[in-house]
Structure 1
Amino acid sequence: MTTLDTPNTLHIRCGSDIQRSLQAAGFIGDFLEFSDPFCQGPVGGDGDWTARRNAFLSTHYEIPLADLQQRQALAYKRLCSVSQYAHIVLWFEHDNYDQLILAYLLTRLADANLGTRLELICISAFAGIEPFIGLGQLSPDQLEQLYTEQRQVVSAAQYQEASKLWYAFEQGNLSELNRIIRQGTQALPFLAAALKRQMQELPWTDCGIGLTLQLTLQMLRDKGPCTCGQLFRELTLKLEPLPHLGDLMFWALLKQAAVQGLIEIAPSRTDWPMRMVSIATPTSETNIGSWWVGPFDINRTGCPRWDPVTGQIVVTE
């Protein structure tokens, strides 16, 4: 009997959404969930940013710090041992959550000399799936089809593009980030668009807030008070140009918006998707805390902003 892969294959995905479907399709290799959400929280800066990042994720995602540290450490440790596998397959889609993780992984793996052992599946659409948001929508048979038809060996150009973007993102190199957004990425065609969407989470020059919160406030103005779950569904399925936030990530952003005095979240003992959200009144208290877009704390003086006219990141006074 012909098998799709072997026990010496490692499938790497930025979540667990396809793990069971891969098993149902007949894949027998190992699975690594590497899901550090670089689209939120501090990345880069002086010294080791792991501790700062874990503290941010623990606080905003409401995960006990010890549990989060253990999970992160295990994922990073397993990433260090991928060379033991005869075959590694990266499963990704086109949004900034996926693409930033992909850029990091390719940067990390570039020195491992994996050659033809490392392959990539990366798509932005799938026939018959509308709207296409991610690989988790696909059936076992459809994942098998992707594996058979879309798998490609990672090229030197893909390693190079990924590394250039990751280092620019980590270091906050505005000129290089703008260059990538302006010129695009040929070897990894979704990377530049994902970077652009990520940088649109910086405060905008015209309104002072990022795109996700702009869309959220527009929903509340149009519809009136909504539950968090309603806002998340509307954002993901209708308004977001590049859906990338998981539900807990969106909840973290809503809580930060409430701290900033942009919205009010009604007190409730119900789970967060059922809690009501409304636009804040002018008398709402404001206690701005840190919120990070890559290496940039958006509440610090001098934080770069997104200019919607030029489509670039700019420094303002």
Structure 2
Amino acid sequence: MKASFLHITNGDSTTNYLQKLKFKGEIITWREMLCEGKTTTDVGSEHFWKNRFDFLKTSYKTTKKTFIDYTLKEYRNLCNQKQQDEIILWFEHDLFCQINMLAVISWLKRYRKGRKISLVCSGKIEGSNKLHGLGELSENQLQEHYKNRVTLSLDDIEYADYIWQLYCSDSPLRLEAIYAFNPMSPFIYLKDALQAHLQRFPSIENGLNSIENTIINTSNKNTLTSKNQLINTLLNEQEVFGFGDIQYERKIDSLKKLFTSFNPVKLSKIGQQVLENQKNYYADLRSDTSYLGGARKYSFLHHNATGKLLQITS
């Protein structure tokens, strides 16, 4: 009797690629961006989805219909897939994908106990210094990745679930202490992704986090004629975050007071002062409703020199 497969992919482009190559088995697309907004450990629960919809509605004006049609219907399809012998996860090296991957593994640990789970994860390619997404692989490279997929042990699954629990906790401090201590883990890109996550808390130096500082630095060092050109430059230069254009657009809008113009892109006097660490913008950005995982974004500060987080006590 032939083995049956369930593929869970990181997005529609990977799903389309697998369909084009006629991979055997059912294919489910995980349509979420859990690296943004508040997350809870109970992946797939009513509480979990309500929380996610509230964030997407507030931050991205996502309608209920879109959320149901795009995300929930696909999730319900996943729930109906119960018979396959092997579940294959297709995710990439960046923060966006790695956090989604942890959540999916946590869900599988709870609802598909004892099932064989394997991982295809793209990133390093022989002969290239650049990290590659799944869609950037040639057909042969993708097939090779599939052939060399890693079967996750029970310990691997427990570890991924544990990191997910820490990501969803109200303090990132334990995550800071734990993420580098599993060199034998098959999740070879997780360390860098979590390091990037910790750098998303505001810096002590100027109150902007790593991404926000990258936005004003990129604006300052390049001659850019429009916001779209700024976004495209950020997309081309980023590697570890894996963000899309709508995420950068939202982040740029939150910093609009640091710009005098987006046509061309030009920093304001305050923007220059923040860039040069002469002004701290923390108080201007601070919000009690901004979350990274389970932690309030503005309850912690990142010290760039040491790479450590400090908790703000009220």
Indicate the TM-score class for this superposition, using the shorter chain for normalisation.
0.7 to 0.9
Give the structure 1 partner of residue 54 of structure 2.
55
Whether 1:234 aligns to 2:222 is no
Contact 1:25 1:144 in 2 (8 A): no
Q: Which residue of 139, 152, 155 maps to 1:154?
A: 152
- 1:282-293 pair list within 5 angstroms: 282=270, 290-293=289-292
Name the structure 1 match of 2:144.
145
- Paired AA for residue 212 in structure 1: I
Per the alignment, residue 313 of structure 1 pairs with 309
Counterpart among 175, 178, 200 of residue 176 in structure 2: 178
Deviations 1:6-27 (A, max 9, x none): 7x42211121112222223231
In structure 1, the residue matched to 2:267 is 279
Structure 2 contact 91–97 (Cα < 8 Å) conserved: yes
Q: Aligned runs of 1:119-268 on 2, under 5 Å? A: 119-127=118-126, 131-148=130-147, 150-184=148-182, 186-187=184-185, 188-238=187-237, 240=238, 242-258=240-256, 261-263=257-259, 266=262
User: Secondary structure of 1:183's match?
Assistant: coil
Within 2, Cα distance between the matches of 1:237 and 1:201? 19
Tell me if the contact between 1:19 and 1:31 (Cα under 8 Å) persists in the aligned partners: yes
Contact 2:31 2:70 in 1 (8 A): no
Equivalent of residue 16 in structure 2, options 17, 20, 24: 20
When residues 81 and 311 of structure 1 are mapped into structure 2, their CA distance, relative to the original with a 3 A threshold, is farther
User: 2:199, 2:285 → 1: CA distance?
Assistant: 23
The question of whether the paired residues in 2 share the 8 Å contact of 1:22 and 1:140 is answered with: no
Q: Which amino acid aligns with 1:65?
A: K
TM-score normalised per structure 1: 0.81
Percent identity of equivalent pairs: 21
State the Cα RMSD in Å.
Answer: 2.9
Cα gap change, 1:110 to 1:223, in 2 (>3 Å): same
Describe the shift of the 1:315–1:177 C-alpha distance in structure 2 as closer, same or farther (beyond 3 A). same
Per-residue CA shift, 1:247-297, capped at 9, x if unaligned?
A: 222222222222xx234565xxxxxxxx754324549xx686643322234
Deviation at residue 120 of structure 1 after TM alignment = 0.9
Mapping 1:28-67, distance limit 5 Å = 28-44=24-40, 48-67=47-66
For structure 2, list consecutive stretches of 5 or more residues without a partner in the other structure.
272-283
TM-score, normalised to structure 2, is 0.82
Judged with a 3 Å threshold, the aligned counterparts in structure 2 of structure 1 residues 294 and 226 are, in CA distance, closer, same or farther, namely farther
Q: CA deviation at 1:102?
A: 0.9
1: CA distance between counterparts of 2:79 and 2:124? 31
